[in-house]
Amino acid sequence: MNNVLTAAFYKFVDLPDFAGLRPDLLAACELHGVRGNILLAPEGVNGTIAGAAQGVHGVLAWLRSDPRLADLQHKEACAEANPFYRMKVRLKREIVSMGVPDVNPALMAGHYVKPEDWNRLLDDPNVVVVDVRNDYEVGIGSFDGAVNPHTRSFTELPGWVRDASAPGQPLAGKPKVAMFCTGGIRCEKSTALLRSQGFGEVYHLEGGILKYLETVPESESRWKGQCFVFDERVSVGHGLVPGDLELCRSCRHPLGDADRASPHFVRGVSCARCHDNRSDDEKRNLLERERQMTLARERNAQHLGARLAPPKVAGATES
């Protein structure tokens, strides 16, 4: 029975008082019994929360009580268990880190394209379609024909745009460009970056891949594979049904059947990508953490365990 509601939301809006919002927002989340992650920054808010439907809607109502967030949009999904262990409200310089000053998605983002109209852009030979997610996300699913920038983090995208604009490269001559990402936030910032660099016709998928998978019937869909999500569901497919991937608890990389078949895969400890990046002491600590978590599950209790900093594995994290 799916009795946990998950809501993802973001909005680019001027929030000069963002730091002062944190205590009351955290209190509202705790009052309504939700867990999740919310980022506050001068450029806006970005978060995913989960809990009982009444509690989730209570937090969303609290956010929308601020006139600047009155039109805040969100996406919902249901789950059998809460995909978050705790509630965090963090202060950041950006709600999605690109590292380029003076890029303002609230004023400069490209044209929205509804999910039901996205296939027409995919079929247009004059449009360059770019997947602005990280390489490990693209590796488990994307739209046919989309350009993969092979970035390890979103902060590498500006460099890729520069290189891809050189003669003979995909963005040479400033063509029509359509960008997409998981929920819409990264492609809003990406299209704003392109417009700041003189690209005239720039589009992005409204609501991101998640809205497309929720809206477009599978029989008409151009999506192939699964879509990585940044919570314990790991991935979703059409209809936002959770996929069959799991996270490596050491490096946070999504793992499929082939990854789990590797001799370097030890659940909770390592996978082929990070096996050589952990010391023996760290592996022992992770193995003990996994043992304790297994015991906690058997007792029907929750055990968070010690959290080690992830090793520097390409694509391990995304802010």
- How much of the chain is helix, strand and coil, in % rounded to 5? 35, 20, 45
Q: Is the pLDDT score of 260 beyond 60?
A: yes
Task: Calculate the CA dihedral of residues 21, 109, 199, 121 and round it to 10 degrees.
Answer: 140
Per-residue pLDDT band at 182 (split at 50, 70, 90): very high
pTM of this prediction exceeds 0.85? no
CB 31 within 8 A of CB 62: no
111 burial type by CB count under 10 A (0-12 exposed, 13-18 middle, 19+ buried): exposed
Q: Is the pLDDT score of 88 beyond 90?
A: yes
Confidence at residue 314, expressed as pLDDT on a 0 to 100 scale: 34
Name which residue leads in pLDDT, 143 or 83: 143
- CA dist., res. 94 & res. 41, Å (int): 5
Confidence at residue 81, expressed as pLDDT on a 0 to 100 scale: 85
Confidence at residue 277, expressed as pLDDT on a 0 to 100 scale: 84
Per-residue pLDDT band at 1 (split at 50, 70, 90): low
Per-residue pLDDT band at 301 (split at 50, 70, 90): low
Confidence at residue 300, expressed as pLDDT on a 0 to 100 scale: 66
Q: Is the pLDDT score of 249 beyond 70?
A: yes
In the beta sheet, which residues pair with residue 129? 178
- CA dist., res. 5 & res. 61, Å (int): 15
Confidence at residue 302, expressed as pLDDT on a 0 to 100 scale: 55
Query: Hey, how many other C-beta atoms are within 10 angstroms of the C-beta on 128?
Result: 18
Confidence at residue 318, expressed as pLDDT on a 0 to 100 scale: 41
Report domain extents, the chain.
4-91, 105-224, 246-298
Report the catalytic residues: 181
Name which residue leads in pLDDT, 115 or 273: 115
- CA dist., res. 212 & res. 135, Å (int): 20
Class of the domain covering 4-91: alpha beta
Look at residues 159, 127, 164 and name the one whose alpha carbon lies nearest to residue 143.
127
Beta strands, E only, the chain: 4-12, 35-41, 44-51, 74-79, 87-91, 111-113, 127-131, 141-143, 176-180, 202-205, 223-225, 227-228, 235-236, 246-247, 254-255
Mean pLDDT score, 10-17: 95
Instruction: Give tens-digit pLDDT for 90-104.
Output: 999 999 999 998 888
Look at residues 117, 128, 142 and name the one whose alpha carbon lies nearest to residue 190.
128
Q: Is the pLDDT score of 304 beyond 80?
A: no
Q: Which amino acid is at 230?
A: F
- Quickly list DSSP for 38-92: EEEETTEEEEEEEE-HHHHHHHHHHHHTSGGGTT--EEEEEESS-S-SSEEEEE-
- CA dist., res. 256 & res. 2, Å (int): 24
In CATH terms, the fold of domain 105-224 is Oxidized Rhodanese; domain 1 (3.40.250)
Across the chain, mean pLDDT equals 89
Mean pLDDT score, 133-157: 94
319-24-46 Cα angle (round to 5): 25
Q: Is the pLDDT score of 253 beyond 70?
A: yes
Query: In this structure, what DSSP letter does residue 180 have?
Result: E
Mean pLDDT score, 19-30: 97
